[in-house]
Chain A
């Protein structure tokens, strides 16, 4: 396996939304989860993560709540809102279309 791939521009939002879909998570957890699930392929730039989280929160896709972490520390947990879920599905479909299209282009040449 090569170097962890930088996230494609604009896909971070989708990944974050997908990650918090199942359960509320804090920022660090989100970064870890993305890395784990993608088998260490996708490396979230931690510097970009928090602005992204705040942006998504401002737009109302996710909401934040303070809670206790595993080691009993106060942490900010993000969860998906109903609007966010809708938005995520739309983004997801778009991503699917895009990747199918890219794959088609790559295979025919």
Chain B
């Protein structure tokens, strides 16, 4: 009721300002007239009566202003005024404005970019997928995985039968989506290229809410039957680029991994699949698993855990409820199938915690980055704050006059905040542009393995815009509030009396500016320490020992599966290739293996049993293993502590054998030499023929784990990698290898030939490199901002203290004294900043201990080098003002 009356009134005073003002005039005019007539009635002269009436009313202008003030919407009026005025002020000081906007643009742009990456890669990573907030990741856990106590990141994939059970019986879910990325070489026309594909459940497209642009998605029937449905949906990109947008593509066939697949659909533009990192170019149903996923037929094996799953929660169902239901079901499965499911549970995770795709790698980096860019924002804000403080001295006269003619102090603060808001709004616009241009920047840091195109795109949507708006407001508050409040505290009488003197006396302001510089120095110190720590860690990784000799070791892969080789042909090819390779001059030895160390590709893993080893109640002994060819250990340089290496004699017809690592000996044979003893691998009994030295298998950070090797010939895989120990360099070897392979089969080609060190660096250093690169950029930026801030404060205090300098000189101070005076002034600030920063760094660097390899977060080298850099930068920043102080002309300084 009240609002129906008040709102129009307020809107009127805002929108029809002039009419409201006119009415006010009329109202007051009427009052004066009425009062005057009353006076006339008492016998006054009309003229005198009029002026008496005006006097009785008091200052008409003040009344009007007061009435306007009571209109609550007034602040919007003022805003318009302030905006116009602020623009004029900013344009009048282009140097200041450009500087401030530049500072803020960099900082806000960095924040927006990082948030757009978080949005596009972690929070809503799958463009074109509907309602990603209801989508969760489904992973398995194993209570007894390894005696070291499974860390929380030790997730397993899921098996298809388990997945089917969940799908059938779980009630809190809209759908379960099975997905497994794989790579293959696709030849279309005369062009062959490596692309990523996905083996998916038939409901994949429907459950994601993605509708193929042409043709159809999969049908329930496509899931059934071993290799029975060679159909595929191809990506929009492949369709456009490789099939030239052929409108009749549906129904045509394409050879994939040696099997003719019928193309049944084309995915819509902008859909890249459900894997963070690489765009998926084609999809096949799970029934085709055996063709694409190594390790045999897995659809009926509960122990074959290979599916990277997603689930879509029903509306209103919380993650906890869903988790509870699935855990209950996992318990039932454990009871029902103890042989395969004992100790296995499932876990639902939000998308950004997905352990199996690029998100796992990006998460820690983006977390650190978010913190870093926030620090940069703080530094930039304190810098702009400092600039504003300096300017507020220059504008003191203006402020004083405005106060003297009756402006309220709140009004001044509002005006200054408006100016700040304009600065940060411009900066946000610029920052969003920066974010837009940087949305693909991460790809630069994460070079994809040969041939694949990385897809690490930031997403700028309304959430990013909202985030930027918040950053804008927050930063305005941070940088403009303090100077504004300070400006409001002008001492009227004092300032009007003597301008310059009162400025010099503004102790508080000087102290605040010093404080801001200390903050900047300490924050940049923290960033510097972090950057140095990460650089150290990266160097350690570069030099660290993976357990084999990486010098003069080259590696490559030959995808026989994609070329359609069956086992017999592949065996023959591999044998001939190894013979020819070993015979090449300059090649010391060469070996094949299914998986090379430090790959995304997973090792085989299965249940094992050892005579005399008693498993714990919840434990299902299992271990990872690699299928390797003869001379593998010699080629990689993994020392054998006991027994022998695999040879050509370890083939299909001879006794199954294995070589185990030290950790396995310690765990299963209690340290006794196991050579000659037996190892049960699922239903196969292997004789241990050797013990290998420990090595790193997947990453430098991994804990030593039980691991063993079996001969490739006895556990055959068509897909293999080749390692070559040679004194030749990679490019020469690549040429030789190409010729050699061409001789054997003209249709084949090896993938890129690189050194083993390069290969390891690509996988082990990726996160580190990004973190180092970005931290160095931001650390440098922060350092620069802090130095500018320091320079500003010192040079300002020098210019203000000119008279004092002159006096000192006149009284006999030598120039060196003044130099020392000014320098020590600035360096004192730096020193305080460094101490504060060091304490903060000690607290902060612990947070990214996960990214540090063999480097203590309190490494003294990191702290002292950060100290050195900071010290040099601040001396440089203070030196110029100090030098100017030294050259003060005493006569002129005193006379001025």
A residues with CB within 8 A of B: 26-29, 32, 45-47, 50-51, 54-55, 57-60, 63, 66, 69, 71, 73-76, 81-83
> For chain B residues 1-36, which have a beta carbon within 8 Å of chain A?
1-2, 5-6, 9-10, 23-24, 26-28, 30-31, 33-35
CB of B71 within 8 A of chain A? Answer: yes
Q: Which of B6, B28, B34 has the most CB atoms of chain A within a 10 A radius of its CB? A: B34
**B67 A54 Cβ-Cβ under 8 A:** yes
Q: Which of B1, B2, B10, B35 has the most CB atoms of chain A within a 10 A radius of its CB? A: B2
Please list the 3 inter-chain residue pairs (A to B) with the smallest Cβ-Cβ separation, ordered nearest first.
A47-B58, A51-B66, A28-B34
Bound Cα distance from A59 to B71, whole angstroms = 9
**B27 A76 Cβ-Cβ under 8 A:** yes
B57 CB contacts on chain A under 8 angstroms: 46-47
Q: Which of B5, B30, B35 has the most CB atoms of chain A within a 10 A radius of its CB? A: B30
Q: What residue in chain A is nearest B28 (Cβ atoms)?
A: A50
Contacts A26-B31, A50-B66, A51-B63 supplied; 6 other A-B pairs, CB < 8 Å: A27-B30, A28-B30, A46-B56, A55-B70, A69-B34, A74-B30
B35 CB contacts on chain A under 8 angstroms: 28, 46
**B33 A50 Cβ-Cβ under 8 A:** no
**B67 A51 Cβ-Cβ under 8 A:** yes
**B1 A82 Cβ-Cβ under 8 A:** yes
**B63 A50 Cβ-Cβ under 8 A:** yes
Main secondary structure of the interface of A (DSSP, over half): helix
**B31 A58 Cβ-Cβ under 8 A:** no
B10 CB contacts on chain A under 8 angstroms: 58
CB of B612 within 8 A of chain A? Answer: no
23 contacts between A and B (CB under 8 A): A26-B34, A27-B30, A28-B30, A32-B38, A46-B35, A46-B58, A47-B58, A47-B59, A51-B66, A51-B69, A54-B70, A54-B71, A57-B9, A58-B6, A60-B2, A60-B6, A74-B26, A74-B30, A75-B27, A76-B23, A81-B2, A81-B5, A82-B1
Task: Select which of B31, B59, B66 is within 8 A of A28 by beta carbon.
Answer: B31
CB of B614 within 8 A of chain A? Answer: no
Bound Cα distance from A45 to B56, whole angstroms = 8
Task: Select which of A27, A54, A63 is within 8 A of B31 by beta carbon.
Answer: A27
Query: Number of contacting residues on B, CB 8 A?
Result: 30
Bound Cα distance from A97 to B23, whole angstroms = 39
Known: A28-B31, A28-B35, A74-B30. A58 touches B9 (CB 8 A): yes
**B30 A73 Cβ-Cβ under 8 A:** yes
CB B239 to nearest CB in A, in angstroms, measures 64
CB B21 to nearest CB in A, in angstroms, measures 12
Bound Cα distance from A75 to B9, whole angstroms = 18
B153 CB contacts on chain A under 8 angstroms: none
Q: What residue in chain B is nearest A76 (Cβ atoms)?
A: B27
Bound Cα distance from A66 to B22, whole angstroms = 13
**B56 A60 Cβ-Cβ under 8 A:** no
**B59 A58 Cβ-Cβ under 8 A:** no
CB of B62 within 8 A of chain A? Answer: yes
B456-486: CB near A (< 8 Å → 1, else 0) gives 0000000000000000000000000000000
> For chain B residues 42-84, which have a beta carbon within 8 Å of chain A?
56-59, 62-63, 66-67, 69-72
B198-232: CB near A (< 8 Å → 1, else 0) gives 00000000000000000000000000000000000
B627-651: CB near A (< 8 Å → 1, else 0) gives 0000000000000000000000000
Q: What residue in chain A is nearest B33 (Cβ atoms)?
A: A73
Bound Cα distance from A33 to B405, whole angstroms = 35
B37 CB contacts on chain A under 8 angstroms: 71
**B63 A58 Cβ-Cβ under 8 A:** no
CB B547 to nearest CB in A, in angstroms, measures 80
CB B59 to nearest CB in A, in angstroms, measures 7
Known: A51-B63, A63-B5, A83-B1. A58 touches B34 (CB 8 A): no
**A83 B30 Cβ-Cβ under 8 A:** no
CB B102 to nearest CB in A, in angstroms, measures 43
CB A8 to nearest CB in B, in angstroms, measures 19
**B30 A58 Cβ-Cβ under 8 A:** no
CB A71 to nearest CB in B, in angstroms, measures 8
Q: What residue in chain B is nearest A46 (Cβ atoms)?
A: B57
CB B848 to nearest CB in A, in angstroms, measures 55
CB B22 to nearest CB in A, in angstroms, measures 12
A57 CB contacts on chain B under 8 angstroms: 9
Bound Cα distance from A1 to B181, whole angstroms = 100
CB B46 to nearest CB in A, in angstroms, measures 15
A69 CB contacts on chain B under 8 angstroms: 30, 34
CB B454 to nearest CB in A, in angstroms, measures 60
Task: Select which of A55, A76, A81, A82 is within 8 A of B30 by beta carbon.
Answer: A76
Bound Cα distance from A8 to B31, whole angstroms = 23
Bound Cα distance from A73 to B35, whole angstroms = 14
Known: A76-B23, A83-B2. A47 touches B30 (CB 8 A): no
> For chain B residues 794-835, which have a beta carbon within 8 Å of chain A?
none
CB A53 to nearest CB in B, in angstroms, measures 8
Bound Cα distance from A1 to B72, whole angstroms = 40
Task: Select which of B26, B56, B70 is within 8 A of A58 by beta carbon.
Answer: B70
Q: What residue in chain B is nearest A56 (Cβ atoms)?
A: B70
A27 CB contacts on chain B under 8 angstroms: 27, 30-31
CB A70 to nearest CB in B, in angstroms, measures 9
**A47 B62 Cβ-Cβ under 8 A:** yes
Bound Cα distance from A51 to B72, whole angstroms = 12
A83 CB contacts on chain B under 8 angstroms: 1-2
Q: What residue in chain A is nearest B59 (Cβ atoms)?
A: A47
Bound Cα distance from A42 to B723, whole angstroms = 105
Q: What residue in chain B is nearest A82 (Cβ atoms)?
A: B1
Bound Cα distance from A83 to B4, whole angstroms = 12
B59 CB contacts on chain A under 8 angstroms: 47
Q: What residue in chain A is nearest B2 (Cβ atoms)?
A: A60
